[in-house]
Every structure is written in C-alpha cells, then in structure tokens.
Amino acid sequence: MEKPWAVVDTSFWVLGHRVDVLVYVLRFFTLCAPAAVRDEVLAPDPRYPRRVYGYQEFWRVLEAHGILTVRNPTQPVALFHAGEAAALALAHEANWWLLINEQRALTYARQQGIRAVTVPELVVYLYEAHVLSYRSALAKLEGLAANTGQRVMQPTREALAQLAARRGER
C-alpha cells in the first residue's frame, strides 16, 4: 500500500527528533519539505557554528537516500515564519498531510481544512498502536511540554490517560 505524502515543518522535525519519534513517521508517510524548512533545519547554530545536531544529520541522510524530498509551493502563505508559511502552502496546494508543532500555525492549518499532526498526537498514536509503552509515551510528552502550546499538550495528555486507563496501565 502506498503511503500518503506529508509535508514536514521545522518544529515537527526538531521536536520529533528530540523525543525520538521522528523515525516512526517514515512508517506512515512519504516525506517532503519546502526549501525554507530545509534551510531552517540545516542552519548552523550561531552560538556554535561548527556543531552538527542529530536532527540535521538525520535530514542529510534521508535526503541523500531520496527518502525526504524538497519541493516548494507555488505561493507561500503570507503568515508565520518562512518555513511554516511554505509548509502550510505546500500541504494545502498538494492536499497532503502537514506535520507541524507550532500551535498558531496548526490552528490556521486546521481552519483551512489541512490534515495536520503534531508530535504529541503522534506520540499518543504510537502508544495506541502498541509501538510505545505508557511510560515511554508519558516521558515523551513531558519532553515536549516546554516547547509545545498547552492547547496542543492538554488534549494529548488527556487522550493518553484515557487510553492507559482503558488498558489498565494507569
């Protein structure tokens, strides 16, 4: 079965890597990103310009193997940062999924009818699919809390708690 396409945004890429769930996305989607997202992900850290982060190296490996492709929208959205604007526009134009973690951009995407997934939602799904344990999912959500809006975090925490209660794991 062919996997659906998804446009990945910088926020999803970096945070998904940080809590070690980014690799699971490859099970579900064929990945694409606009050049603006690529530029944001691969940009050197101004404080440590020689440092290479794991999420940057993972991007390079997937791109080199043709697993992650770069494609630009015809017209970026005139809102948000360059990467978000391009990712939103591409997902909308191509009618693809959007992988994003920024609360404002997520809200906008869903208002536009774009199917979007956040990193916390992916964590809950992975628990629901028995890929992650409850303890692992809980730890990953806690690792996301400082960089994810409460309007995204609260429903995912509640969903995880409900699933765990139904399974007798909480």
Residue 45 contacts residue 74 (beta carbons within 8 Å): no
Q: What is the mean pLDDT of the chain?
A: 95
Q: What local confidence, expressed as pLDDT, does residue 27 receive?
A: 94
Residues 105 and 126 in one domain: no
Q: What local confidence, expressed as pLDDT, does residue 75 receive?
A: 87
Q: How far is CA 78 from the centre of its chain?
A: 21
Give the list of residues 6+ apart from residue 114 with CB closer than 8 angstroms, or none.
Answer: 88, 91, 92, 98
Residues 101 and 141 in one domain: no
Q: What local confidence, expressed as pLDDT, does residue 77 receive?
A: 80
Q: What local confidence, expressed as pLDDT, does residue 1 receive?
A: 74
Residues 38 and 113 in one domain: yes
Give the list of residues 6+ apart from residue 79 with CB closer than 8 angstroms, or none.
Answer: 85, 88, 105, 108
Give the list of residues 6+ apart from residue 17 with CB closer than 8 angstroms, or none.
Answer: 54, 55, 58
| pLDDT over 90 percentage in the chain | 94
Cα–Cα distance measured from residue 101 to residue 8, given in angstroms and rounded to the nearest whole number: 10
Task: Give the residue ranges of the chain where pLDDT is below 70.
Answer: none
Q: What local confidence, expressed as pLDDT, does residue 76 receive?
A: 77
Residues 35 and 91 in one domain: yes
Give the CATH number, domain containing residue 50: 3.40.50.1010
- Residues 79-104: pLDDT tens digits? 888 999 999 999 999 999 999 999 99
Residues 37 and 62 in one domain: yes
The H or E element that residue 30 is part of is: strand 30-33
Residues 108 and 44 in one domain: yes
Q: What local confidence, expressed as pLDDT, does residue 80 receive?
A: 87
Residues 16 and 60 in one domain: yes
Q: Which domain holds residue 88?
A: 5-117
